[in-house]
Amino acid sequence: MNSISSDNNSGRTCPLDYRYKPQDLAAASIDTTDTLYIVGGLYGNPLALKALDQLLTTELTENPRCIFNGDFNWFNHTDQYFLSINEYALQHDCLRGNVETELARRPFAGGCGCGYPDTVADSVVNWSNLIIATLNASASEHPQLQARLEALPITKRYQVGNAKVQVVHGDCQSLAGWSLARENLIDPQTNTIADISACNADIIACTHTCEPIATTLSSAITGATQDIAVINNGAAGMPNFSHEPFGLITRIGITPSPHETLYGTKLDSVYVEALPLRYDQKAFLDWFLALWPAGTAAHESYFQRLSEGPKTTVADSRGTGFT
């Protein structure tokens, strides 16, 4: 692929090379699997990765497929953890999230590429830009790894049973888009429904916004032949609910999950489920504090969420059709 061009200098903007059309997603080639784990937003958490490995190795179906759909890097700014997180993830399917895209961009553009909307405070955007700059110091020491990140796709499509599954990082138009955020899916607007329909998928799985939501859109709304499920896992490597210290991942399969699920639905014969990723919370906080002590950007921006979770509850994320 061509080198990623540098046209991004803040966490507010959405670079042009982030964009694609929903119709292009519908035309992409398809890989087939019976079981698909979708791990969005690991954020460099090595304890969450250890918990994920345990789930994958104890999965009952043969050869479960796993895709890290972006932002598997974030807090892992030391050489040791930059290497170990990426080496694990790159053994599986991966999408380039905005974090990996900016780490691979040469020269480094200085922004996180999050495309933060106006509802996000300037302080959060500034902290994100400081975090990516710190992480980039490790990435720049490993040009071969940067090249592997640059070569990753930004969308991927699967066939699971009789369901077409579209995996993205952000939304149906941009790898850092926010239209599949919780507030936009609870009462989706015409543009969002049109984009979802144009993907020609039965299930759309995403992440990026750090806030989980799972819902189904009825065929009466979308014009599709059956309901469409949209599931945003929030973050695999951070708490997603108030005082619930676990990450969240998505599993799609022709059989139900053998592991604990928080909520799910069944589309025709395919199960779509949200699984808690129960990592060692104390060990993770100790690890985080060693890398990001008080006063650093990541500590300022994330420590409260990592310790206590956001204010939302599981019920806030369980939309229409998910029980």
Q: Tokens 């599986």 sit at which residue?
A: 92
96 binds Fe ion (CB under 5 A): no
98 binds Fe ion (CB under 5 A): yes
CA–CA distances in Å: residue 260 to residues 67, 179, 251, 263: 19, 29, 11, 9
Closest of 48, 86, 41 to residue 283, by C-alpha: 48
Q: How many residues bind Fe ion (CB under 5 A)?
A: 4
Give the nearer residue to Fe ion in terms of CB position, either 44 or 97.
Answer: 97
Name the segment binding Fe ion (CB under 5 A); options: 16-24, 92-100, 198-206, 241-249: 92-100
Footprint on residues 58-87 left by Fe ion (CB under 5 A): 71
Half-sphere exposure of 142 (CA within 13 A, CB side): 22
Name the segment binding Fe ion (CB under 5 A); options: 5-13, 86-94, 95-103, 305-313: 95-103
CA–CA distances in Å: residue 94 to residues 10, 151, 157, 164, 312: 25, 10, 12, 18, 28
Give the nearer residue to Fe ion in terms of CB position, either 97 or 264.
Answer: 97
Give the nearer residue to Fe ion in terms of CB position, either 65 or 96.
Answer: 96
Give the relative orientation of helices 297-308 and 281-291 as an angle to the nearest 10 degrees: 170
Q: What's the full length of the chain, in residues?
A: 323
Quote the tokens at residue 16.
Answer: 């042009």
Q: Give the shortest CB-43-to-Fe ion separation in angstroms.
A: 9
Beta bridge partners of 292: none
Q: Give the shortest CB-159-to-Fe ion separation in angstroms.
A: 26
Q: Give the shortest CB-170-to-Fe ion separation in angstroms.
A: 7
Q: Which residues contact 244 (CB under 8 A, 6 or more apart)?
A: 276, 309, 314
Give the nearer residue to Fe ion in terms of CB position, either 71 or 150.
Answer: 71
Q: Tokens 């149906």 sit at which residue?
A: 172
CB 173 within 8 Å of CB 195: yes
Q: Give the shortest CB-135-to-Fe ion separation in angstroms.
A: 13
Cis peptide before 212 (omega within 30 of 0): no
Q: Which of 40, 44, 97, 161 binds Fe ion (CB under 5 A)?
A: 97
Give the nearer residue to Fe ion in terms of CB position, either 177 or 319.
Answer: 177
Q: Give the shortest CB-218-to-Fe ion separation in angstroms.
A: 29
Give the nearer residue to Fe ion in terms of CB position, either 72 or 241.
Answer: 72
What's the 3-state SS for 160-222? ECCEEEEEECCCCCECCCCCCCHHHHCCCCHHHHHHHHHCCCCEEEECCCCCCEEEEECHHHH
Name the segment binding Fe ion (CB under 5 A); options: 21-29, 90-98, 153-161, 268-276: 90-98
Q: Give the shortest CB-302-to-Fe ion separation in angstroms.
A: 14
Q: Give the shortest CB-227-to-Fe ion separation in angstroms.
A: 27
Q: Give the shortest CB-44-to-Fe ion separation in angstroms.
A: 13
Footprint on residues 186-225 left by Fe ion (CB under 5 A): 208
Give the nearer residue to Fe ion in terms of CB position, either 73 or 192.
Answer: 73
Q: Contact positions toward Fe ion, by CB under 5 A?
A: 71, 97-98, 208
